[in-house]
Amino acid sequence: MPAPKTPSLTTDVVILLPDGRVVLVRRKYPPPGWALPGGFVEVGERVEEAAVREAKEETGLAVTLDHLLHIYSEPGRDPRQHTAAAVFLGRAAGDPSGADDAAEARAFSFDELPSPIAFDHAQILADARRFLLTGVRRRP
């Protein structure tokens, strides 16, 4: 019997720098816009490992993961296909540098985020900010 079709597993990281700014990447490929560093989990890879790997590939930063923020799985969150993303809060130091499939990587304050923000990452950033300010996570 063939395996059932399921959403693709991805991971994203809200990377916080010591000054409180968050790192975003400008996407090189469609859909356009600014996004959290992240990508697909490879077979044989733990989700946490994929998060750290993708962050390093796209920003050049060595990230330490602190919290699992939430699992985002709205079927329309990625216009290319149905994905389910494990989103982490992490921290890093240094200057981000866009690489891999990121045309650019930059740090922004939560009050001055760029536009447009791709996927559902504006909601994720709002959830992360609320958690950082209040300790309250998004409910399932």
Query: How confident is the model over 59-102, as pLDDT tens digits?
Result: 999 999 999 999 999 999 999 999 999 999 999 999 999 888 88
Nearest to 87, CA basis, from 77, 97, 72? 72
Nearest to 104, CA basis, from 39, 58, 41? 58
Q: Quick check: 102 and 118 in contact, CB under 8 A? A: no
8 contacts: CB under 8 Å, gap ≥ 6: 40, 81, 82, 83, 84
Query: How confident is the model over 109-132, as pLDDT tens digits?
Result: 999 999 999 999 999 999 999 999
Residue 2 binned pLDDT confidence (cut-offs 50, 70, 90): confident
The CATH number given to 8-134 is 3.90.79.10
Work out the number of other CB atoms within 10 angstroms of the CB of residue 47.
Answer: 16
Note if the pTM is more than 0.85. yes
Q: Where are the domains of the chain?
A: 8-134
Confidence check: pLDDT of 140 > 90: no
Average pLDDT, the chain: 96
Question: Which one from 48, 49, 57, 104 is the annotated catalytic residue?
Answer: 104
**124, HSE (Cβ side, Cα atoms, 13 Å):** 30
104 in active site: yes
User: How far are the Cα atoms of 6, 7, 37, 96, 111 from residue 90, in angstroms, in the given order?
Assistant: 28, 24, 11, 14, 19
Q: Give me the DSSP letters along 25-74.
A: EEESSSSPSEE-SEEEPPTT--HHHHHHHHHHHHH----EEEEEEEEE--
Q: Quick check: 48 and 78 in contact, CB under 8 A? A: no
What pLDDT, on a 0 to 100 scale, did the predictor assign at position 108?
Answer: 98
